[in-house]
Amino acid sequence: MPDSNTIITIRNVVKRFGSSVTAVNDVSLDIRRGEFFALLGPSGCGKTTLLRMLAGFESPSEGEILIDGEDMDGVEPNKRSVNMVFQSYAVFPHMTVHQNVAYGLKVAGTPKGEINQRVGEALALVQLESMADRKPDQLSGGQRQRVALARALVKKPKVLLLDEPLSALDAKLREQMQLELVRLQKSVGITFVIVTHDQNEALSMADRIAVMEHGNVLQLAPPAELYEYPNCRFVADFIGKMNLFDGQVVGARDGRVVVRVNALSDRVGDLELPYDGEARGGVGVAIRPEKLRLSSSEPVDEPVRLRTRIMEVVYYGDENHVFLEAGEAKFTANLQNVSRGAHAGVVRGEDVWISWRQEDTLLLTS
Amino acid sequence: MESWRNNRLVFAVLALPPTAWLVIFFTVPLIIMWVYSFAERGPQGQIELAINFANYARAIEWIHLGIIWKSIWIAAVTTLITFLIGFPLAMGIAFAPARWKNVLLLLVILPFWTNLLIRTYAWIAVLRTRGFLNFGLEWAHEKLTILFGFFGTAQVMGEFQPLELLYNQKAVVIGLVYVYLPFLVLPIYATIEKLDKSYLEASLDLGAGHWRTLFSVTMPLALPGIISGCLLAFILSMGTFLTPALLGGTDSEMIGNLIARQFSSSRDWPFGSALSFLLLYLTFIILWVRASLAGRKAGPL
Ligand SMILES: Nc1ncnc2c1ncn2[C@@H]1O[C@H](COP(=O)(O)OP(=O)(O)O)[C@@H](O)[C@H]1O
Ligand SMILES: [Mg+2]
């Protein structure tokens, strides 16, 4: 039984379209009351389909969905206490901003006085009070999105569903809206479920993230855990950047496993990595680019160190991305430009030492 | 590269045939008719060019105004019925599964492939006193009589009286609805088809039922198509001639029939021309009102 902390329970949900497409494949997860939850995955992985099943626009082929303990099987979208912000916003073009926000209250038969008051509050929440009498075609994309938000929030839903809400905004506005959505969510206390294919968006906004691929949820974790402890190659690679190598488990020693990475073994020997599960056979060994350290002289106290050649340096202003090679092994290192000219010595064609801490190395068994 | 519009020779060569066609077969006859509308009818029906408004004055005499009014009335009723049938039909096609859509559209357009005259005669076969519809009704009546006979109450059915369906205004309206249904369905279908379906989903999501969504969201958003379709059906049935001529009776002469009569048995081309232009002006006024309404909506506030 879901406890009172759970607002949405998804149990073994499968969604098939026709006989060939399985958009969502046996997903089970709980969404907690009041959290900012993100469904993250590449395009076509089934995020929207899962969200639409929560809203009631699609019904699961198998499995069940509970919202606040209630089975949603056969419950029409207009009878669910969730509201959705559509990817296209779907702000009614023939109604003013005020009429758009009032629509959901009007169809529910809310008294006129209360409608005006609540619409006013909702518009204030998204800072659109001055636009109440405008038509949507007199608004910018960002403003239309706020209307869509106000229109959904004014219904005081138990859960607000947002399908790629920021994808149509330009980069600056998107960053600003990320912060604003988080502020909004904390202030209204409503559970937000957001769908996105943008890992930065998910990491910066969500309390917990479910990473999806091919209709499956691969990992469900808070952002930091997802980034630092991805549980499989797909998640490791999809979230942020990763230096990934193939290796074999060759032994185990008190809570650590010994891994031989073919591309590195003749330079650094076998790696001893902390791992509390059971691992054998082929595994992935991964290290984040920003966790590599570069030095011109051999860092003798570092257990994992090797000499590499700088193949390319790409300058991003705040960071340099350095592409390195040591025989078969290719690395990317991200260096913060902590002061002007901090990495003046890092130039193409030079040889440098790279090193990293054993504890920062990831072992990926799948 | 230069736009082909800038190459005057090419443009002229390409534009000449359609322009010539329009001028010779549309503009020139229209001008001739316009000149005739101010002419006088000679004693043998010949046309004597003049400049007087007598034909127009005659056109708005009570007897002719009555016919114009009846035409407007029949066209309005036809448009209403066509809309009541056509709007759900257009919705149905727009929301049908993709593989059915083309088949359904084809069925709507299919009648165009048969000559209107033949299709109208087919309606005569359906509607006349000894037509298919009355046969069907008679058959049903017979079966019901037998059924009631089992309960010994056959007499409640009485004698079968064939319905008088042909040669009256009802028949004209039925025929017009049938002929102009596709003209109304297609523009409405086109707007609904293009409509972003998330508007409808948003309405449902906000708690509205399907009927509420239909009246508050779907219909307002499909309004341009609805107006186009209804205007098309209205204007076309206003000026119709064949349907009332074949299916109508003495009570259902429309302005089209009146005009046709001037060019045939009455041999009064000037009066016929004046009536035609009256109809044309009426159509222009309707289109102008529509355009200015649309313009006002598109304008700022
Ligand atoms: N109505 C539908 N009919 C058939 N296939 C669909 C339908 N909706 C989605 N799909 C398919 O399901 C898969 C997942 O789609 P979607 O949930 O939209 O992915 P995402 O939102 O993650 O990009 C895709 O392969 C898509 O083509
Ligand atoms: Mg999507």
Whole-number Å distance between alpha carbons of B32 and B273: 9
Is residue B262 one of the residues assigned to a domain?
Answer: yes
Surface of B (212-271) touching A: CB under 8 A: 212, 216-217, 220-221, 223
Tell me the helix, strand and coil percentages in chain A, rounded to 5.
30, 35, 35
In the prediction, which pLDDT does B2 show? 56
Smallest Cβ–Cβ distance between B198 and the set A90, A104, A107 belongs to: A90
Query: Comparing A257 with A95, which gets the higher pLDDT?
Result: A95
In the prediction, which pLDDT does B300 show? 41
Q: Are A76 and A100 in contact (CB under 8 A)?
A: no
Mapping DSSP to helix (H, G, I), strand (E, B) and coil, where does residue A5 land?
Answer: coil
Whole-number Å distance between alpha carbons of A94 and A182: 30
Question: HEC profile for A268-304?
Answer: HCCEEEECCCCCCCEEEEEECHHHCEEECCCCCCCCE
| Residues of chain B neighbouring A48 (CB-CB closer than 8 A) | none
Pairing mode of beta strands A208-213, A216-221? antiparallel
Are B212 and A107 in contact (CB < 8 Å)? Answer: yes
Whole-number Å distance between alpha carbons of A210 and A187: 23
The amino acid occupying position B177 is V
Instruction: Give the domain range for residue B96.
Output: 63-128+165-296
Element (H, E) at A363: strand A362-364
Element (H, E) at A249: strand A243-253
Neighbours of A149 (CB within 10 A): 25
Mean pLDDT, rounded, of chain A: 89
Instruction: Please tell me the total count of domains within chain B.
Output: 1
In the prediction, which pLDDT does B116 show? 87
Residues of chain A with CATH 3.40.50.300: 6-232
Nearest CA-CA partner of A228 in A274, A287, A275: A287
| Residues of chain B neighbouring A84 (CB-CB closer than 8 A) | 201-202, 205
In the prediction, which pLDDT does B299 show? 44
Q: What chain A residue is nearest to B217 in terms of C-alpha separation?
A: A92
Q: Is B208 on the interface with A (CB under 8 A)?
A: yes
Task: Give the distance from residue B106's alpha carbon to the nearest chain A alpha carbon, in angstroms.
Answer: 25
Is residue B201 one of the residues assigned to a domain?
Answer: yes
Smallest Cβ–Cβ distance between A92 and the set B204, B217, B223 belongs to: B217
Nearest CA to ligand 1 atom 26: A44
Q: Are A37 and A31 in contact (CB under 8 A)?
A: yes
Q: How many helices (H) and strands (E) does chain B have?
A: 15, 2
Report the side by side order of strands in the sheet with A282-287. A271-274, A256-261, A243-253, A282-287, A362-364
Whole-number Å distance between alpha carbons of A313 and B72: 80
Ligand 1: residue of A15, A17, A24 to mutate (most ligand atoms within 8 A of CB) is A17
pLDDT tens for each residue of A95-114: 999 999 999 999 999 999 99
Whole-number Å distance between alpha carbons of A206 and A226: 11
Residues of chain A with CATH 2.40.50.100: 241-364
Element (H, E) at B249: none
pLDDT tens across the length of chain B (301 residues): 556 667 788 888 888 989 999 999 999 999 999 999 999 888 888 888 888 889 999 988 999 999 999 999 999 999 999 999 999 999 999 999 988 999 999 999 888 888 888 989 989 888 888 888 889 998 998 888 888 888 877 777 778 888 888 888 999 999 999 999 999 999 999 999 999 999 999 999 999 999 999 999 999 999 999 999 999 999 999 999 999 999 988 888 899 999 999 998 888 999 999 999 999 999 999 999 988 887 766 544 3
Whole-number Å distance between alpha carbons of A127 and A131: 9
In the prediction, which pLDDT does B5 show? 63
Q: For the residues A43-55, what does the mean pLDDT come to?
A: 94
The alpha carbon torsion through A40, A45, A51, A54 (nearest 10 deg) reads -120
Pairing mode of beta strands B40-41, A282-287? unpaired
| Residues of chain A neighbouring B199 (CB-CB closer than 8 A) | 90, 92
Ligand 1: residue of A19, A49, A162 to mutate (most ligand atoms within 8 A of CB) is A49
Determine the distance separating the centroid of ligand 1 and the alpha carbon of A45, expressed in angstroms: 8
Determine the distance separating the centroid of ligand 2 and the alpha carbon of A195, expressed in angstroms: 7
Whole-number Å distance between alpha carbons of B205 and A278: 47
Is residue B38 one of the residues assigned to a domain?
Answer: no
Nearest CA-CA partner of A24 in A159, A238, A210, A209: A210
Q: Is B201 on the interface with A (CB under 8 A)?
A: yes
Whole-number Å distance between alpha carbons of A86 and A164: 8
CA angle A47, B207, A206 (to 5 degrees): 35
Tell me the helix, strand and coil percentages in chain B, rounded to 5.
80, 0, 20
| CATH 2.30.40.10 fits domain A241-364 | no
CA angle A112, A114, A118 (to 5 degrees): 120
The CATH number fitting domain A6-232, selected from 3.40.50.300, 3.40.50.720, 1.10.10.10, 3.30.70.20: 3.40.50.300
In the prediction, which pLDDT does B134 show? 87
CA angle A353, A283, A366 (to 5 degrees): 125
CB pairs < 8 Å spanning A and B: 59
In the prediction, which pLDDT does B77 show? 96
Find the residues whose C-beta lies inside 6 A of ligand 1: A 17, 21, 23, 41, 43-49
pLDDT tens for each residue of A304-334: 888 888 898 898 888 889 999 888 888 899 9
Q: Is B95 on the interface with A (CB under 8 A)?
A: no
Q: Are A333 and A305 in contact (CB under 8 A)?
A: no
| CATH number of the domain that residue B212 is part of | 1.10.3720.10
Is residue B271 one of the residues assigned to a domain?
Answer: yes
**Locus of tokens 């969905």:** A65
Q: For the residues A209-228, what does the mean pLDDT come to?
A: 93
pTM of this prediction?
0.83
In the prediction, which pLDDT does A17 show? 92
